[in-house]
Structure 1
Amino acid sequence: MAKFEVPKIDGEQGVLDVPSVQKDVMKGSGPFIAKPEFQADMHFPNDFSKDDEDKWTLVPNWKERALDKLDDLRKRYRSLQVYLDICVKCGACTDKCHYFLGTTDAKNMPVARQDLLRKVYRRYFTFGGKFFGKLGMPEFVGASELTEDVVDDWYNYYHQCSHCRRCSVFCPYGIDTAEISMAAREILDHIGRGSKYNNEIIGKVYKIGNNLGLPQ
């Protein structure tokens, strides 16, 4: 379980004051990972298993598959690439997310949650990221390599977004965090990191005809 204190409503007129930021207090709080059979019902890759430490592995060539899917999504949805390109880090969204206000985890700020995917996009799909990545310093342009730790952060924090789009209302550019979160979840589905709750239920709907999996 995550260890954090729920902030008190002690501001003027019962308004919640913006809490002090804490680092990684919600790390590792992602949902249960979908088993291979649940992935198969959704026609997602299911060639993964548990390792010697009883942890789910990623699919073979997961990095290439993830980048291929990100490339596919940015080309298919022009809005996604625009949202990944135009953020100026103004901070208007930071205190608008109820997940951040409730957990105080910095990565639950909408802008920080977006950046988990944006940094990878910059590394592999922009000139600056490719150039400085080859020099071994992608962080110079706000980019980062795609690693298993990054995938873990994607799984934890993109499932701590309810897609309410409240942050988008306050964003001066109208950046839709929900669309970025949905894109990240779709990438995760294709590398063996699907959500058990979502994929099992939707798989039953397609396979049996109802979300409970009850035969007719």
Structure 2
Amino acid sequence: MSRWEPNAHERLQQAAMELFQERGYDRTTVEEIAARAGLTERTFFRYFADKREVLFSGSKDLEKLIVDTITGAPQTTAPLDAVATALEATAPMFEERRARSRTRQALIAAHAELRERELIKLSSLASAIAESLRGRGVARPAASLIAETGIAIFKSAFERWLEDPQEHDLSHHVRGALEELRLVTAATGAASSARPQTKATQRSRRSSP
């Protein structure tokens, strides 16, 4: 009969992060993580498939929150705005975790296998976002484009949140990244419209039916 261990998930995460910093990610074993947490390896594998998953264990909860928020948005909400609102809704998940998130990102940046795992997780999140947008009637190509744009906004906002000396919350940086995207695309569109036509373009337009 299995024994219930209080706060096992959090204890294992804390132990793993401590050991990753002390010994390095590559030299840390599951056995050492479990021992530091005062638990068994069997208990570790109840919560995590391997030591990499310690760094990505919240991805399913994050995905569910984002998808549920998009699905529940008013039907009149523009698709990109629905995605941005969903990204803002994730801010409470990261409250009080800025220091740990910085350590986590440094570990991911330093190890190719972790960078690959992060890309897989982000790709899965983009697919889930696109599927939820299609459920709202957005055409498949547009849904995929908006989902990938949302991931780009989230990545930019998350990086700024980690580095923010004023420690604004994540939603602040999501709004900032979205506004910056809109300003850039608006400026690009205006510049394109104002660009002088070449003689070849003018001849082409005159010859068009």
Q: Is TM more than 0.5 here?
A: no
TM-score (norm 1): 0.26
For the pair shown, the structure with the greater C-alpha radius of gyration is 2
* Greater fraction helix: 2
Q: Which has the higher contact order (CA 8 A, sep 6+)?
A: 1
